[in-house]
Amino acid sequence: MPITKSAKKALRQNKKRRARNLKQSRLFKDEIKALKKLIAAKDKKSALEILPKVYKAIDKAVKTHILKKNTAARLKSRLTKTVNKL
Angle between helices 44-63 and 5-40 (to 10 degrees): 160
Count Cβ atoms below 10 Å from residue 74 Cβ, excluding itself. Answer: 12
Domains of the chain, with CATH numbers? 5-85 (1.20.58.110)
Ordered mean pLDDT values, 10 residues apiece, the chain (86 residues): 93 95 91 92 90 93 92 94 90
**Stretch (H or E) spanning 39:** helix 5-40
Count Cβ atoms below 10 Å from residue 38 Cβ, excluding itself. Answer: 20
Amino acid at 56: K
Query: What confidence score (pLDDT) does residue 86 get?
Result: 85
